[in-house]
Every structure is written in C-alpha cells, then in structure tokens.
Structure 1
Amino acid sequence: MHKLIINKLGPVEKCELECSHFMTLTGFQASGKSTIAKAIYYFRTIKEDIVELAKAQALKVSPPINGLEDGFDVGYGVDLKKGLENYLREKFLRTFGSSWGMSNEMYLEYFFTKNCFVKISLKNDTKYATPNYIWITFSFELKRFLQEKNHCFSVTPLGVPDDEMGKFKAELYEIFDDSCSVVYIPAGRSMITLLSQQFGYIYATMDDMQKRSLDSCTKDYLERILRVKTEFSEGLQGLTVYSTGKTILSPKIMSQALDLIKKILRGTYRYSNGEEQIVLDDGKYVKINFSSSGQQESVWILNLLFYYLLQQKPILFIIEEPESHLFPESQKYITELIALVSNCKHSVVLTTHSPYVLGTLNNLLYAYTIPEQYTKRVSEIVPKSFWLDDKKFDSWFVKNGTVENCMDQEIHMIQNERIDEISKVINNEFDRLLDLQSADEESVML
C-alpha cells in the first residue's frame, strides 16, 4: 500500500498516512487537506513525468512542464535521472509555491512500494544559488530503472514505436505499483465555469509568466476541460451512444450514473455551438454562465467522472469539496456517484467539510457489511453498485497540523463524533443558552 509522509509543509506539521483505494480527508478550514491532496497529486503523477521526459529525450525536444508551452530544457541535454530531478524541482515550485519561506526541516516522502520511494527535502547550503534548494532523493530501484532506460527509445518518422512505449510503461507501472492516471478537480470551480465561453481565449492570450502563476493542479484541471469539452457536443447521452460496444461498462451502471447526474444538475450538460449549456427536461436550455452556483460548481465534476467512467482506464480522482453550493440531497447524490465510479476500478481522494457527504459514505459502508441473506432487500434501499468495501476505504481527520485515522475499527465506519464535531459545538452552545435562560427564570420565580 502507498504511504505519504509530510513534515512542516504549509499548515501540515506532521502527516503520515497510508493511501487506500478510496480515502477522505476532513477537518477544519485551512487545516491542510488541500496540501495533502496536492502532495498525493505531485507524487502520483511522477510516472507520467518520466514517460514524457523519456519521450522528449528520444525526440530531442524540451518537454513542457505540466503542459506549459515554454517547456524546460531537461530532455535530451542530460540523462534521464538528472532530467527528472530538474523537472520535479520545477513541478514542486508550481504545486506548492516558493521554498524560500519554508522551514528547512520540510520534507515530503512517498512510498509506492517498500523498494520504490521519492523524497523531497530542502538544503540550505552556499553551494547552491538559492536558499532552501529543493533536493530530490530516489530509491535505488527507481535510480536503476532511470539509468537503464536512459536513451532507451528508438525513433521512427511517426515517433516512438508503440510497442517500445507500451513495454516501458508496463515496467514503470510495475515499479510504482500504480497504473492510474490522475485527474485533479480543485475547489473554487464556479468561477472557471462562469468564464467558460471566454476562457479558451483568455488562456490562449496569457503569457508564460501568467500561466506560471496558476498552480499546477488548477492548470491541469483547466487544460483538461479545454481538451475534452468538445466531445460533449451531443451531451452525455451522445457520449454513451458513441461508447456503446467500446466499453465493458454495463448499461445498468451507465443508466445509474446518468440518473444521478440528472438529479444533481436538474438537467443534462451539452457543449453546442461554442457554448456550454444545461439542457432541461422540456428541451430548453440555460447557458452555463446563467445557471445556478450549484450547477456551475458540480458540472465538471460530473462530466469528468462520467467521461472517464466510459473510458474504462484506471483513474485516481482527487476531488476537493464536491459538496460546494449543493443542497444536502444533491450532496448525497454526488457522493453516491463518486462511490459508483470508485467501484468501477477507479481510485478516489476526497476532501470535504460536509456531514452529509460523510454520512452518505457511512450508509454505503454499512450497506456493504449487512449479511448476505439481506442483499436483495438492502439493494432496494441502496443499489449494490454504490456499496463501499471498508477494506478499501479510509477516512482521515486533519487538525492542528496533524492527521489521524477516524475510522471506527469495530463497526468499520467513519466515527460519528468526527461527523458531528461541529454539530456538538453548536448544540453545546444552544444548551448553554438554554441553561442561562432556565437559570434566569428560576431566579425570577424565587
């Protein structure tokens, strides 16, 4: 199982957690949930970085950093290991910001297996041109792979041969114990959606410095939307029809996913004539920039979940605050959709503040544990495709710079006291007010 260790990065003082198939991060505002999510993104995308660097090395070009057009000369000019070190240094700055203000005790470490890890730390040494120089450490197994694969590709007029690339990826994924691509869906999505019609133009006119100001997770999300939204020209149903016969996904799963999406959006999404639309039941539509804030916040979570559900390629979805701007009933539906997707061989990291999201997850965990003789009756209440296996699930509470596992080991669900933590504060405050009034009334009577 993968393991992440963080020391003194942003609000996180000390974090050590195992990364399960489905994991949630909950806790107070600014406690470090996004820092942990970004750290997972940073490490889990390293294998794609290696693929791009090896390909760039073979083609003798400078690979882009996370899609930036300006590129970074780490490809063919140096060996693959050195190139990756330079690449990860730049990627760190574009994910977490400048290292100058960070503690020199800061470090990040990610164990993919017992023998494969990557560590990021800081060195404060006059040998380097900058204070808090970002130092990259690879495990022996990974260093050996990078050395063996240095200048490993042949090149044809069509580029790197598919069979060589396929073999390279297979070996790499085995070393990392990870075949998932990563899709990061950040918080604060409504503004991006609001500017959807203008965003292609805005992004195209931004210079390299302006693009660098976007953190790599947000930029990855923006570019992903720009790449895939043209495929929604006939809406979600059009995607479904196009995928018929090309996916092993059952019609029942597709139907359940579409039903949940329709309940959340109160319609369905379509990209038509250069504009994004929410199509209503009567065939009329609303332009996305005139839709509700809940629709704007959730639409691209829903689109990306459904798009990659049909693709049937393993994805790690990192989703921040899926509940934003949604009514509690819709929070339940979007949580069920995420659970359904995770049960189709996709992984999930979820950050949330919502007791409705956590409560829904508990229902899905509980449904899985009910004895088999009740399966039919349980599935009439909660469809079996939504159930969550507690052996593949973990929940972490982030508070005061640390994390702790908040799963109840006896009942295999998220601890109720964590779900009700803020409710307890509110209820306690109400009880104190009530006691004050009661005491005052008693004194008047005396």
Structure 2
Amino acid sequence: MDKLWTLHVENFGKIAEADVSISPLMCFVGDNNSGKSYLMSLLWGVLTLGKDIFPKMPSEAKTYKRCENWLRESLNKNRELTEEDLDMYVSWFNELLFNNKKNLLKRIFSYNVEAEKIEIKNYKRNNKIEIKWEDHAERYSVAQTYLKFPKQETYSREQLLRMNAYICWNILMYGIAEPLYTPVVKGRRMGEPVYLPASRTGFMLTYSQLIENSLQVSYAPTMEENTSILTLPYIDFLQLITKFETKNKLTKKNEAIVQFIEEYMTKGNVTTKKDIMPVIKYRPNGMTKEIPLYLASSIVTEISPLLLLFKSDINFKTLIIEEPEAHLHPELQQTMARLIINIVNSGIPVWLTTHSDTILQHVNNMLKLKKHPQCTELMSEYNYDKKDLLDSQDVSMYQFVHMKSNKSKLEKLECTKYGFVVPTFNNALDKIVREVYAFQED
C-alpha cells in the first residue's frame, strides 16, 4: 500500500472510541456484540460512498478555499505535494465527512446510527506524489506517484472543484477503492471494495428470493425511501452475486487463487451459468455430474462466494471478510488463513473479523517463518513458498473489549517476537485448560 491513514471514530454505536490504521492485512478480534462488524461496515462505506460527499458546486468554506487557491497557484506547473499540502486535502475531506455524516451512516446501515465523530488522521505516504500537466491530454489520470491533468489556458471554478476532488480522493483512496470518475458501464463493477458478510451459506442458498427484495435499493444520495432490512454492505453482496459468471480465461493471479481453493478447500469445481438469476452448481472431484449448490456441503456453500469472485474476474481493490472460519474444520481454517495471506501478497488488501485462534496462529507462524534464520529450509520442509510469508509491517490487529459502561473499546495489539498475543483468546483457552485439570479424576 502506497499510503497509510487512520480512521478515528467517537461514540459510534457501541464503540466509545477507536483508531484503525489501514494495512494490507487487518484483523478485528474480540468479544461478540462489541462492534467489529459495525466498524468494518463503516470502513467499507467510507471507501464505497466517500466519493459521493464531494460538493457539486464550488464552496466558500475555508478548508476548500485553501485547496482552490493552492491549485490556482499550481496550474500548468509540475509540483510535488508536501506533507502540508496533503494535510490540507485530508482536512477538506474530514469537513465533508462531518457535514455528510448523518446521511452517510443512514445509507450504510439503513438506519439512523449515531456517531459523534468520524475523521481520517495520521496520513502518511511511502512514495512522494506529484501533480503533472500534459499538453493535448483528454482526461485526468492517476498512478502511484503522480496525478496528471490536461493543460489548458483558463480554468473555471467548476473545473478546479472537479480537479480538487480528484486529487483529494486519489491521495486517500487510490489502489483501495473505486476511481472517482469512471465511465458508467451497466452491470460492471469498477473497483469497489467487496464485502463478504457472515452467514454466507444462508445468502448463497436463498439469494434468488433475497435479491428480488433488495435490488430496488440503489446507491442514491439519500435513503429516505429505503425500507430494506439489510445494511448496504449486505445488499451490495447480493448484487455482487448477480455478477458471478465463470470466465474461460483468468489472470495468472486469479487462476492461482482459484486452483488453490478448488484443490485444497472445495475439492471440486463451482460454476455459474447466466440466467435471469445466476445458476450455481458444484461438481465434486472424480464425478462428471453437477449438483445444485443446496445439495453441496456447507464448506462449499461457505467458500463459493470467494471462489466465484475470482472466477468471475470481478474488478475490486479491497476484500473484506466477516468470520472466514465459519463452517470450517480447524485444518481448513489454517488453509483459509494461508489463502488470505496469498491474496494479500497478490496485492489485494484483506480486512477481516474473526473468532478463530487457528487463523491467528497461522498468521503468527508466517510472521515468524519470514524472520527465521532457516526460513528457506523450513519452507521446503513444510511446503510453503514466498507468497505464504508475512511481514509484520503489513499486518495490524485490533481487539474489541466490552467496558462496564456497556460500550466497547478498541485496543491495537502489538506484534512481539512470538507474533500477536490476543488476550481474549488466551483467557478463554486458559479457562478451558484449568477446567480440564480440575475435572479429571485422579
């Protein structure tokens, strides 16, 4: 990831205060009903809906005027953005977040959820970024180290607003969210983050009925007419199912992930045929006949959305998974952890909520293996390769803990030489071990 920033919230639902710094692999762990899914939904919402908070007309607000004046001084001159320049654009985005907070939360949760504060803090970049101007260019363009605009003789305030929004969105979201200005292609996703919710088996077995009731919910700027009983990330997942389509040719990256899932997890092939609704079927290894998804085991129904996501070659920048361990035997939970790390190392950030000590232990094992002096020999012995390894700077771990006030707090867990120590997991396991010794007969 070429940039880092922290999402700060105060009095958001059950969460008293939280600071979450984005990273290639991010894990939320901790107590049930403590706000993990709420906060993950908010992150999804900022990445998915944040582009809609930019004003349609130039503003006289001080935060925006600073951006406009800076851009006027930079017109037709290549210029590197300083830390002060970057902070100026983050401040503008935070003001827009504050002004649109109520509507944004209602769109995400289909309900009037309260939050005292939502803002982005601690913005940092790994690479400098520069504004460039190009003769005869027809459109804006962006890369990891530059933002490029067509050179003109004069610029209206409306054009300056459009360019400022482009700068602001890309310094925050380039590489992890949908581009700000994209051609509208009906039925095609343009890079929005994918949210795979909990209870995936239930969704996959009833998607036809659920889609029929949910597809009328759009991404309109207001939610006054929305009567959905699902949050927007869940509705987006149902709409994602309608995009599933088995492609004959995949990128090498997607092909490797598909092969891994089918060989080590589903033990068979899951296909989609386009109809009014997608028709999803499963063919176990060694069999020629396909069976309906509802006759397949829970491992197949649980993993099928992830498998079909990569088989469909859908364009997305970030992957969010709730409870990836659901319905999985501990051995398959370890395999799932290995798959997640492979996806991260392919360049796609993965953010997850989990109650699985097995997944967390595998993460720790790969962190330790990466730094082990006999790494090469151990990789050969245990059948790992470089795409299975993790660097501690690419992982962040957050624990949600209930407080006496009926609120929850967020604690960032530090990576030790043993990996991440998760107190809520360890305390529960210690209690079970004590009971084992107490209850056994002499």
Give 1:351 deviation, angstroms. Answer: 0.4
Give the Å deviation of 1:323: 0.8
Q: Which runs of 5+ in 2 are unaligned?
A: 58-92, 126-154, 178-192, 403-407
Tell me which of 395, 410, 417 is aligned to 2:417: 410
| Cα pair 1:43 1:110 within 8 Å, conserved | no
1:311-365, CA deviations, whole angstroms, 9 ceiling, x for partnerless residues?
6x66121110011111122212222111111111111111000111111211222
Give the Cα–Cα distance (whole angstroms) in 2 for the partners of residues 198 and 97 of structure 1: 20
1:106-185 to 2 correspondences below 5 Å = 106-111=116-121, 113=123, 151-152=158-159, 171-176=167-172, 178-181=174-177, 182-185=193-196
Partner of 1:127: none
Q: 2:427 aligns to what?
A: 421
Which stretch shows the higher mean deviation, 186-195 or 8-17? Answer: 8-17
Contact 2:98 2:118 in 1 (8 A): no
Q: Where does the alignment leave 5 or more consecutive residues of structure 1 unmatched?
A: 56-79, 116-147, 154-163, 233-238, 439-446
- 1:202-238 deviations in Å (ceiling 9; x for gaps): 4458899565332111111111221x21x22xxxxxx
| Deviation string, structure 1 residues 47-103 (Cα, Å, up to 9, x no partner) | 44358x869xxxxxxxxxxxxxxxxxxxxxxxx999988865333113245447x5x
> More helix per residue: 1 or 2?
1
Report the residue type matching 2:283 in the other structure: V
Q: Contact conserved, 1:359 with 1:419, CA < 8 A, in 2? A: no
Give aligned-pair identity as a percent: 22
Aligned residues, how many? 345
Change in Cα spacing, 1:365 to 1:211, as seen in structure 2 (3 Å) is farther
User: Under a length normalisation based on structure 2, what TM-score does the superposition of the two structures give?
Assistant: 0.67
Q: What's the counterpart of residue 13 of structure 1?
A: 16
Aligned counterparts of 2:34 and 2:215: Cα–Cα separation in 1: 35
Sort the Cα spacing of 1:184 and 1:290 in 2 relative to 1 into closer, same or farther, 3 A: same
Between the aligned partners of 1:81 and 1:21, the Cα distance in structure 2 is: 23
2:110–2:226 Cα contact (<8 Å) kept = no
Instruction: Specify the alignment match of 1:142 in structure 2.
Output: none
Equivalent of residue 280 in structure 1, options 280, 284, 288: 284
Q: State which of 352, 368, 371 in structure 2 corresponds to 1:369.
A: 371
Give CA deviations for 1:282-334 in whole Å, capped at 9, x if unaligned. Answer: 22222112222232222102322x258x56x6612111001111112221222
Aligned to 1:40: 43
2:257 & 2:94 partners in 1: Cα distance?
Answer: 46
CA contact (8 A) 1:15 1:403 kept: yes
How far the C-alpha of 1:110 sits from its partner, in A, is 2.5
Matched, 1:195 2:195: no
CA contact (8 A) 2:369 2:375 kept: no
Deviates more, 1:88-97 or 1:335-344: 88-97
Q: Deviations over 1:93-124 (max 9, x none)?
A: 13245447x5xx73222237279xxxxxxxxx
Amino acid at match of 1:25: F
Amino acid in the other structure paired with 1:93: K
Compute the TM-score of the two structures, normalised by the length of structure 1.
0.67
Cα 1:168–1:183, aligned 2, differ >3 Å: closer, same or farther?
farther
Q: In the alignment, is the contact (CA less than 8 A) between 2:27 and 2:354 conserved in 1? A: yes
| Aligned equivalents of 1:261, 1:420: Cα separation in 2 | 33
Aligned to 1:258: 259
What's the C-alpha RMSD, in Å, of the aligned pairs? Answer: 3.6
Of 393, 396, 399, 1:394 maps to 396
Change (3 A) 1:314 1:213: closer
Q: CA deviation at 1:23?
A: 0.9
In structure 2, C-alpha distance between the alignment counterparts of 1:150 and 1:261, rounded to whole Å: 54
Distance 1:290 1:149 in 2: 61
**SS across alignment from 1:14:** strand
Structure 2 equivalent of residue 290 of structure 1: 295
CA distance in 1, matches of 2:272, 2:423: 43
- 3-state SS of 1:41 partner: helix
Structure-2 separation of matches of 1:149 and 1:359: 56
Cα distance in 2 between the residues matched to 1:14 and 1:82: 19
